[in-house]
Amino acid sequence: MPLPTSRRRFRAGIRRPRLPLLRAPGRPALATLLTASVLAGAYVAQAVAALAPHVPLLLAATALSLAVEGVLYRWQRGVPALFAKAHADVTVRHVLRDLLLVVGLLRLGEQHRETQYAPLLAGLLLCYALHCAIQAVSVLVRRTRTLPVVTRNIDASVLRLSPAPPALLRRPGHRLLVFGLPATAGLTATAVTDDARYAAAGTGLSLVLALGGLAVLSLRLLPGRRPAGEQEVLAWFDAWLAEYRPTVGLYFSGGPSSVYQAGMWLEPLARLEGRPLIVLRERFMVSRIPATDIPIVCLPKVPTLMRLEHSSLQVLIHPSNSGKTSQVLRIPTIKHAFVNHGESDKLSSCNPYAKAYDEVWVAGPAARERYALAEVGVEDKDVVEIGRPQLDAVRPYAGPPTGAYLTVLYAPTWEGWDGNPGNTSLIEAGENLVRALLGDPRVRLLYKPHPLTGSVDPRAGAADRRIRELVRAANRARSGPRPSSSEELAARTAELDRLTAAEFREGADQAERMLVQSVPPAGRAEAVARATRAWEKAYWASLPEWEHQVVVDARPSLYSCFDVSDLLVSDVSSVISDFLASGKPYAVTNTGGLTEETFRARFPTVAAATVLTPDATGVPALLETVRHPEKDGLAEARAELRLRLLGPSEPSSQERFAEAVRVLSAKAAAHRARMTGRTAPGVPGPRQALPTPARITLPAPERPGQLA
């Protein structure tokens, strides 16, 4: 059997370069370079004008630099960070701007006027000193408002939470620009008119603004204005755990782009009996979790996380592995189950880390076999088949397309961490597939790339951008009637946003969001579910039947795309397993250099698929089998594969999921009871030190020649 392409290259000592040595700058990079060049040029011109001296040039250069600063903080917020790395942050730039104005004034004025500008220079120095003082107090205020526990859907008003200070006072760049603008304008006016009163008035106004900001922030440090302290918050959290008594929870840690992994388990978790809880580790993730009524707690530090050991929590489910997962696995009173965020034939679906959990919950027999073949240390007795509760609502196959167009969903996966060319079809086959699909006048394409596309290999990101342009070009070449349901979609969007989006004022911090996102109103979860279904119906109805779509937003969901599609084209990924719940035809692209026989044998999820080559020559025949089911010879194979991958339809996946939670909870309760018995008074437990045995004194040994 031939080796995969990646292994052949590795054994030959040849590594495929992941990143090109040189890349042409894109539009964002060019805009950044242009903005930085204009700002640098403005400072050079200001220096020349100050030394010349030349009043019109000094005025124009100063105005240009201020305008560019405004552009940076309004439209290019990443550029100031680049300047800061070069030790040219906003404070340095502002001091340089004002210093050049002072140099210009001194050059313009007569020798005896230098003493006239000395107070102005002192005032400027005082403005910068106040800026540093405001920043120091702002840091102190932020620390008092950074609580050891961040919550959502929990009433935390007893922690003396309050709205955050104005955002202007917490952002040094914005604050210095606004507070220093009067002084800069006054100096510029003095340079034009040779009247020092303008500079004095501007500097005085800047001092007043700085003193006012310092006073506002300093009041936040008073004992009655600060939120609860760390120990008070921890005591409140312990009391809340004792009152709420959670039974099952979801543990999640990850980056911003991985939030979908937790989101897919929210609804199954909410439908369980008992009192569910969501445990997070990153503060930013609290606001990114989709709308849910389940209480959410974020415990960033390990000592705070360990307080769960003394709670009633019995089971934690884990949709992903992360570096911080090992920390919560150390809690002996909780049983842990790995549920994953999707199953595929990739090695990541049977990661050796899975043996760290008490149980591994999989969809069907295929995943059980996958763990057995992988030999990663997961014993068969610890594998539990629960199906995929998220797929219970996916609509089943209802026959061939009846409309004028056949809807094809192209959902490639991302490039992965190992650089295997067979991971994603985007680089080698994506454009060929899309061209072939767009070339059929009776096809409507839905293109939904993976959220992590291009995060490792920039070639995947470049292919993604080219595919989007192909879709836009194909739409420009098409025409047809447009539905008049945009008003309905707007109304549904407004209703869904009202139910799911918390109304925060601009600049709200985490403490303020805890106050706003307290206990949700009764029945909100059901209302959100109804509003989501209504929105999806209105969304698809608002789109022309002939128009191709690029789907990249959180709405509509992947499962909603399943329901409106007649065919899936994807890679070896969990999308295939999920799509099989519909029973519809699907195709997989073979870009790993394997023969079709080897490809099917290596990846069981391809057993019921049409295998496409990178040149996409099989697309027309594939479309023909979808339009004429009598030519589809894989329908029976799809039904058998669905049973292997997802398990039986009865009982439902949600029921099997709930039963697995009940069984593991009973194991956790029994384990806790045994541990309690072992740590009873007089019985040394695992965390109880054994008593030091009495010391026995032995007689000294006799020395040779010693008399008895």
Q: Which DSSP string do the residues of 93-152 spell out, in sequence order?
A: HHHHHHHHHHHHHHHHS-GGGHHHHHHHHHHHHHHHHHHHHHHHHHHHHHHHT--S-EEE
C-alpha angle with apex 510: 141 to 299, nearest 5 degrees?
A: 105
C-alpha angle with apex 557: 555 to 562, nearest 5 degrees?
A: 135
- Residue 316: is it exposed, middle or buried by C-beta count within 10 angstroms (0-12/13-18/19+)? buried
Question: Which DSSP letter does residue 296 get?
Answer: E
Count of alpha carbons within 13 angstroms of residue 28, beta-carbon side: 5
Q: What is the pLDDT of residues 251-293, one digit of tens each?
A: 999 988 889 899 999 999 999 988 999 999 999 999 889 889 9
Whole-angstrom distance, CA of residue 40 vs CA of residue 96: 12
Higher pLDDT, 201 or 59: 201
pLDDT at 417: 75
Q: Per-residue pLDDT averaged across 349-362, rounded? A: 89
Q: What is the pLDDT of residues 396-433, one digit of tens each?
A: 998 888 888 999 999 999 888 776 777 899 999 999 99
Cα 178 to chain centroid, rounded: 32
Residue 23 binned pLDDT confidence (cut-offs 50, 70, 90): very low
Q: Is the pLDDT of residue 158 over 90?
A: yes
Q: Nearest-CA neighbor of 101 among 143, 70, 59, 129?
A: 59
Q: Is the pLDDT of residue 685 over 80?
A: no
Helix (H) or strand (E) holding 371: helix 365-374
Which of 301-310, 339-348, 364-373 shows the lowest mean pLDDT across its residues?
Answer: 339-348
Higher pLDDT, 315 or 704: 315
| Rounded alpha-carbon distances, angstroms, from residue 184 to 32, 95, 174 | 25, 10, 15
pLDDT at 100: 82
Whole-angstrom distance, CA of residue 1 vs CA of residue 701: 74
Q: Look-up: residue for tokens 């003493």?
A: 115
- Residue 20: is it exposed, middle or buried by C-beta count within 10 angstroms (0-12/13-18/19+)? exposed
Q: What is the pLDDT of residues 518-541, one digit of tens each?
A: 888 888 888 888 999 999 999 999
Domains of the chain, earliest start first? 28-146+168-219 (no CATH), 245-387 (3.40.50.2000), 393-478+546-646 (3.40.50.2000)
Whole-angstrom distance, CA of residue 200 vs CA of residue 204: 6
C-alpha angle with apex 62: 61 to 68, nearest 5 degrees?
A: 85
pLDDT at 250: 97
Q: What is the pLDDT of residues 580-590, one digit of tens each?
A: 999 999 999 99
| 3-class SS letters over 636-681 | HHHHHHHHHHHCCCCCCHHHHHHHHHHHHHHHHHHHHHHHHHHCCC
Residue 310 binned pLDDT confidence (cut-offs 50, 70, 90): very high
* Residue 407 φ then ψ, to 5°: -90, 120
Q: Which structure tokens are listed for 694?
A: 């009495």
User: Are the C-beta atoms of residues 249 and 276 closer than 8 Å to each other?
Assistant: yes
Q: Per-residue pLDDT averaged across 367-384, rounded? A: 90
pLDDT at 281: 96
Q: Summarize the chain as % helix, strand, coil (round to 5).
A: 55, 10, 35
pLDDT at 705: 37
Q: Is the pLDDT of residue 3 over 70?
A: no
Q: Is the pLDDT of residue 704 over 60?
A: no
Which of 177-181, 248-252, 504-508 shows the lowest mean pLDDT across its residues?
Answer: 504-508
Q: What is the pLDDT of residues 457-510, one digit of tens each?
A: 899 999 999 999 999 999 999 887 878 767 889 999 999 888 877 666 777 889
Q: Look-up: residue for tokens 């610890």?
A: 382
Terminal Cα distance for the chain, rounded? 85
User: Are the C-beta atoms of residues 624 and 401 closer than 8 Å to each other?
Assistant: no
pLDDT at 358: 95
Higher pLDDT, 663 or 90: 663
| Amino acid (one-letter) located at 293 | D
Question: Which neighbouring-strand residues pair with 587?
Answer: 569, 610
Kindly report the pTM of this predicted structure.
Answer: 0.78
List all residues 6 or more positions away from 96 whose beta carbon is below 8 Å from its beta carbon: 43
Residue 696 binned pLDDT confidence (cut-offs 50, 70, 90): very low
Whole-angstrom distance, CA of residue 644 vs CA of residue 656: 16
Whole-angstrom distance, CA of residue 464 vs CA of residue 453: 8
pLDDT at 29: 65
Q: Which structure tokens are listed for 323?
A: 């570096």
Q: What is the pLDDT of residues 533-585, one digit of tens each?
A: 999 999 999 999 999 999 998 889 999 999 999 999 999 988 998 999 999 99
Residue 348 binned pLDDT confidence (cut-offs 50, 70, 90): low
User: Are the C-beta atoms of residues 159 and 147 closer than 8 Å to each other?
Assistant: yes
Whole-angstrom distance, CA of residue 365 vs CA of residue 503: 45
Q: Which structure tokens are listed for 585?
A: 């035809």
* Residue 224 φ then ψ, to 5°: -80, -10
- The mean of the pLDDT values for the chain is 85
pLDDT at 488: 87
3-state class of 218 per DSSP?
helix
pLDDT at 13: 36
| Rounded alpha-carbon distances, angstroms, from residue 287 to 78, 284, 509, 511 | 22, 6, 11, 12
pLDDT at 224: 86
List all residues 6 or more positions away from 426 whose beta carbon is below 8 Å from its beta carbon: 412, 415, 449, 453, 460, 463, 464, 467
Which of 21-35, 343-357, 613-627, 639-653 shows the lowest mean pLDDT across its residues?
Answer: 21-35
